[in-house]
A = this chain, B = another copy of it.
């Protein structure tokens, strides 16, 4: 049985009101009694019951990150998120907020779970990732007036919520630039088939750069697949079957690149030798694969911290003196040149 504030008060022969004030650092309590309370709290190792506190304050002091396993044959999550979550957590902790990760069901797209989290007031705000071009989670949250922030942009919801995104458009553009500079004209693009927004952004940049270089966009060289190894493996042969096959491939996802490289190897094509390969989001895999993969790297941990800061700035309870602000940012990626292109 956990000790309650009543136990503590009884043990010290003072009222629970005083105990609470002492623990919460209020001014109207004698320095001496405060010390006694703190000591006793440590001795009985008392921590305030989270439900009681939340109920009274109308705030849970916790933030949910909604993690959505992608559908696919074998759902291994994206290691991508871990450094981001570390940053998110660190910044939130500075303000006394706890981060928790809420998993959705792999099949349906998180809506039911999100409703549950929101309607039962489980947390004070949520953070979404894997934003879609049209995202009903965002529509729902803005309609409900529930605080949230997103990792990734969306066309839904307007400018009513903080968002932080990676500049995938620019990355797609730069990747083409780099490949063209190295003499490539037949450049394929492989991205996830889900309507994840970053897939569109990437493709926009890809198209824009091709146009700038006077290269016609060949739809045979653009393909979609599952956002995992299998997807890359299945879809890469597709672009290779083009009448005029590519000499370079840009993968919009590291796992897809891995599957794609396997498919290439089976066709007797050696990445980095017979085929230039660039990956849009760098992971340790890219650095240790053979050949090492040229990739664009986001600053994930700082991004986590930043998005936490942006979320806090949008919350009345945490906003500065100028009141809540909606901040939206797009961060560049850093090109890590390696052997594969």
Contact residues of A with B, CB < 8 Å? 2, 45-52, 54-55, 60, 64, 67, 69, 74-83, 85-86, 89-90, 98-103, 105-106, 116, 119-122, 228-230, 233, 255, 258-259, 261-262, 265, 283-285, 287-290, 292
4 shortest interchain CB distances as A-B pairs: A77-B82, A101-B101, A76-B79, A47-B119
Q: How far is the CB of A7 from chain B (nearest CB, A)?
A: 13
Other-chain contact of A79, B52, B55, B77 (Cβ < 8 Å): B77
Q: How far is the CB of A196 from chain B (nearest CB, A)?
A: 18
**Cβ-closest chain B residue relative to A301:** B75
CA separation between A308 and B79, bound complex, in Å?
24
Contact partners of A67 in chain B: CB under 8 A: 101
**When A77-B82, A79-B79, A106-B86 are in contact, do A48 and B290 touch as well, CB less than 8 Å?**
no
Other-chain contact of A76, B82, B120, B230, B233 (Cβ < 8 Å): B82
**Cβ-closest chain B residue relative to A81:** B77
B55 and A49 contact, CB distance less than 8 A: yes
| 11 A–B pairs (Cβ distance < 8 Å), ordered by A | A47-B120, A51-B52, A75-B82, A75-B86, A77-B77, A77-B81, A86-B103, A100-B101, A229-B287, A261-B288, A285-B285
**Cβ-closest chain B residue relative to A266:** B290
B2 and A121 contact, CB distance less than 8 A: yes
CA separation between A67 and B211, bound complex, in Å?
46
A262 and B284 contact, CB distance less than 8 A: no
CA separation between A194 and B98, bound complex, in Å?
27
Contact partners of A255 in chain B: CB under 8 A: 284
CA separation between A103 and B67, bound complex, in Å?
13
**When A75-B86, A76-B79, A86-B69 are in contact, do A47 and B287 touch as well, CB less than 8 Å?**
no
CA separation between A122 and B54, bound complex, in Å?
11
Contact partners of A288 in chain B: CB under 8 A: 229, 233, 258-259, 261-262
B116 and A47 contact, CB distance less than 8 A: yes
Q: How far is the CB of A273 from chain B (nearest CB, A)?
A: 13
Q: How far is the CB of A151 from chain B (nearest CB, A)?
A: 16
**Cβ-closest chain B residue relative to A52:** B55
CA separation between A139 and B47, bound complex, in Å?
20
Contact partners of A78 in chain B: CB under 8 A: 79
Contact partners of A89 in chain B: CB under 8 A: 103, 105
A76 and B283 contact, CB distance less than 8 A: yes
Contact partners of A121 in chain B: CB under 8 A: 2, 49-51
A262 and B290 contact, CB distance less than 8 A: yes
Other-chain contact of A285, B46, B49, B64, B258 (Cβ < 8 Å): B258
